[in-house]
Amino acid sequence: MLNKATVIGAGLAGSEAAWQLAQRGIAVDLYEMKPVRMTPAHHSNDFAELCCSNSLRGAEICTAPGLLKEELRRAGSLLIACADATRVEAGGALAVDRVAFAAMVTEKIKSHPNITVHAGEITHIPDEGHVIVATGPLTSDALFDDIKNKIGQHEYLHFYDAAAPIVSFDSVDMESAYFASRYDKGTADYINCPMDREQYDAFWQALCDAEQAPVHGFEDKKVFEGCMPVEVMGRRGHDTLLYGPLKPVGLRDPRTGKDPYAVVQLRRDNAAGSLYNLVGFQTHLKFPEQKRVFSMIPALRNAEFVRYGVMHRNTFMDSPRLLDRHFRLREQPRIRFAGQMTGVEGYIESAASGFEAGLNLARELKGLPLIEFPDTTAIGALGLYVSNEANVKFQPMNINFGIIQPLGYRVKGKREKNTQIALRALEQLDELLDTVKEDVL
């Protein structure tokens, strides 16, 4: 049992955790309820399915997501390696062919000699042995109840996530759209669907009046800001969308030489470029309403919706009261948690928590000291954020430079300052990784 661990959930965090354990000689029992049991948000049998966007956000190290990805890349992350291998063009972002990405992760996990995959639902955390629970925002009811029993009086917090629709490229009216990236940054990878004032007004009114699918027990104020449904944004005011996903600034229409009144952007969703998702259009409108309202966008008047947007449950823990910086349950440290349920928000953040949990569990099982990632690194800053008991009103958090230790001296310009923070982080990370190179088989 000393060299064996259980991982529950084969999403981004669970897959990364299992890989890090296996790479260090730990036998892993990986449990995944798909395909025996699916959820409303899942469409594929593969591991590490990207349910919402196919973008892993910024790629440059002067952005916090870019720094986190580079840290994970240097540390031997499976998820980043697969993302790099299945990348599709998306300007300054790292976006992937989501089908190819999940397929590659699945193949790597299933073919690893130290990982045994078990299909089927787990209804309770094993009573013995070391466990990483990475069941994500759609944890089944039975396991959810067992987790609540394990953590005692601390209660779960909750919100809802929403996924954006996907359309076929061939159905987009390119006479009413154009390729461009904002401010001409990078390559022109986004399809931009402009609207004039009259078209936007009609669209906005229809969006606000459209019928939603039932979302039991929640009101708009409880929808997590980072994944807010487009109709919720619309109801907050006529101009709200113009400062959000329909922001036209820097997207000059080549036919007019001017910025449109409003722009809906489409981002490539697969390597072939045959599918595009509506950026920022997470929604829980009924499917016929999505077709009716989104077809009012001129370039999408005849759009073929290959997948409609869905709204699904998301849960997260009161982690500062429950977990330490290594994602261990304070009162039962043999149990670790990883992924969105810990309050790290985002694909890469979930992978990072799984990386840290798997890496340090392997070291613990081998009698080695745990690696203390400092708060000057993105990996360390995330772990310290979710375990900081000073966070009284805890909310999920994307990686950002605000939670990374400041430089301690002034640097002119935000981009240059962030670059200096990133270079410091990577230098310290490299020094730390040099001391544990022998840890990987």
Residues tagged in the binding site annotation for FAD? 9-14
Q: Cα(68)–Cα(89) distance, rounded to whole angstroms? A: 20
Cβ proximity of 185 and 249 under 8 Å: no
Distances (CA, A) of 302 to 172, 291, 292, 293, 305: 7, 10, 10, 12, 9
Token pair 């077709």: residue = 291
Token pair 């990577």: residue = 426
Token pair 């230790």: residue = 405
- Identify the burial level of 298 via C-beta atoms within 10 angstroms of its C-beta, where 0-12 means exposed, 13-18 middle and 19 or more buried: middle
Q: Cα(147)–Cα(185) distance, rounded to whole angstroms? A: 45
Q: Cα(212)–Cα(14) distance, rounded to whole angstroms? A: 32
Query: What order of strands is seen across the sheet that includes strand 166-168?
Result: 178-180, 190-195, 262-268, 275-278, 166-168, 305-307
Cβ proximity of 196 and 256 under 8 Å: no
Known binding-site positions: 9-14
